[in-house]
Amino acid sequence: MSELTNELFGVVPIVPTPFTENEEIDENALRNLIDFAIAGGIKAVCLPAYASEFYKLTDEEKLQVVRVAVEHAAGRIKIVAQSNHPSLKVAIRLAQANVAAGADVVSLAVPRIFSLPESSLKQYLSEFLQSIPNTPVLIQDFNPGGASISVEFIKELMDENPNFKYLKLEEPLCAPKFESIIKATKGKVGLFEGWGGLYMLELVPIGIQGVMPGLAVADILQRVFDLRRNGEDGKAFDLFEKVMPQIFFSLQNMELFHYAEKELLIARGVLSNSIARKAAYIPDASSVSYIKELNQRVIDVLNDETYAIRPVAEAV
């Protein structure tokens, strides 16, 4: 278990849940994904989140993937254990089990199934944080129906809960809000951008601590992140523009993302299938062809020495 310091930095990708032909969790494939992240220079991964199909897993399976990841990582990479559930009681039980399993950080999505006032969300998040006081917590907020949690809310939550260390927001045009959060919290809450890393070039200069994209392009986006932070803006934009079409297309639908992400991991020699649990996206022939084309363009970038990213053969 980590000390209560802001240890997460850079790209923290979401690990997809690999399945066998009969839709059972493929533990060996999951171990391969952890090895792939480590080989790509990634320092921390998160699972099981939305991009891991967590909403199709039982609570026992959610804990299973965390245990496998922790055991296989063996301290080589930090494990962020997602503990989402609309029931506070169940979320706490899952979080405490993840801590006992050895997770370094616990992550939680703000419950957004139905609209709730901030007072209700404050009670939910505060009690969750207090249930694992010695473990750093990353709070994620994606609110399709409106704004994410307010700056004042974030500041109060931080003041009352020392283990609230990270915040991931997923919304467009959020640079002014990110700047306000950094100012209000004096940088004590590390900010992460989600949504596939799509807005990272806008937000790196603001002072975000990292991004949380899919695993298949994590090593590329880590390179983009480093270039942008180091002021090599032209190189950062050039590299990002090479992979942005794949990211943008896949994010049109979360189930489409699962398919495109796993197909890219197949192309990179990490997974053997792109199975998602049903109900799953069934791509039409045009989409299958276009995703293959987009993924091949990503592979071409990996094989281009201009960008100083290891070729596919060296990534696993």
Annotated binding-site members: 212
Contact 199, 171 (CB under 8 A): no
Q: Residue 164's beta-bridge partner residues? A: 137
Length of the chain: 316
The residue to which tokens 């050039």 are assigned:
238
* Token pair belonging to 106: 């616990």
SS3 content of the chain, % helix, strand, coil (to 5): 50, 10, 35
Question: Amino acid identity, residue 215?
Answer: L
Please give the torsion angle defined by the CA atoms of residues 177, 229, 194 and 98, in that order, rounded to the nearest 10 degrees.
-110
Contact 251, 70 (CB under 8 A): no
Element (DSSP H or E) covering residue 140: strand 137-141
3-state class of 228 per DSSP? Answer: helix
Contact 14, 215 (CB under 8 A): yes
Residues 6+ away with beta carbon under 8 Å from 6: 136, 165, 166, 188, 190, 209
Q: Which residues are annotated as part of the binding site for pyruvate?
A: 212
* Token pair belonging to 13: 């990708």
